Structure 1
């Protein structure tokens, strides 16, 4: 896996990450969602530098201009529900992409720390010979993305896979290295060192879905 850790460089991105971590700023759900969206935009811009490009001639009112424009067929896939603000940020930059959505959630049996990731819904176009961009804001154990990859097995083989994530744990990234193709790119805004006993990132931000949309039963 090719890892692009944008948190290691000084940039405006750090301010957006700081705000989604801050427990006081988190109380403003609209600001939280917008910051996740902006992080998605920054990561998408960096990702766009690795895509394929063709020469095209553009007709202006006063003449013609040769330009290099991207030619990849993209499919954006978000994991419901936490992935929606991140999906919007990526879609802002790749507005002509096809879209896929998948539901995946943790099932903690009887309140125990151990959990199973359950996938119940998938809507997706064919991925054959397309570039798949998976949007998952919190890369904790990596098991959710592993299950998502398995769920796509009957939708065709993508020519390239990119993962866009806001915050990840070292353990989860190491797990993805073992289950995704080695040519997969990971674009991430911050990497945290550990997980707690329930598989949440430390120090992380908490539950991204709850912070964006409210607590669930």
Structure 2
């Protein structure tokens, strides 16, 4: 699986070009599944209007509305209640996953509970994450990003990459997301970590990591 881990979606030319290069065919020929699950775990974005905005492509973060051949919804909280043969073939045939922001640990929990976490590494698809949808791929999210408390009480995410992510760096509506705050957060992370602003994404293909940015970012090692 190829990963494009963004802070705020595919919102500039560089990130868009990176996505196109990762696909094996034009966007107009690609089928996509959007995953809004993380939104339900975060009090600012779900459930309700903003969840609908993401699914319908009416949000301020370009992901669903990029011109895909088709876009479906994969709601992870529903998957444990239906037979796998009803959704696993769909997942295996999908070209792109569009994973919303919200609460990263809530998303990690339902990726595991649904069985999607076990499938992802074997899929020949592009995973596009936004905020929590990107953070969930890390080994841990760090104490600053623990909102929803998982059953084990830890801040462990899926560990599909070996670095952690601090999104929305220097965002005007998030005064606690300064570079100084990111530095403090990074000191609590065992392993490498990135602070990225909303004009930045991290591309991962076969373990090779590349930062794609028209903004500001920093690697803490």
- Superposition TM-score tier, normalisation by shorter sequence: 0.3 to 0.5
User: Which of 1 and 2 has greater Rg?
Assistant: 1
**TM-score normalized with structure 2 length:** 0.39
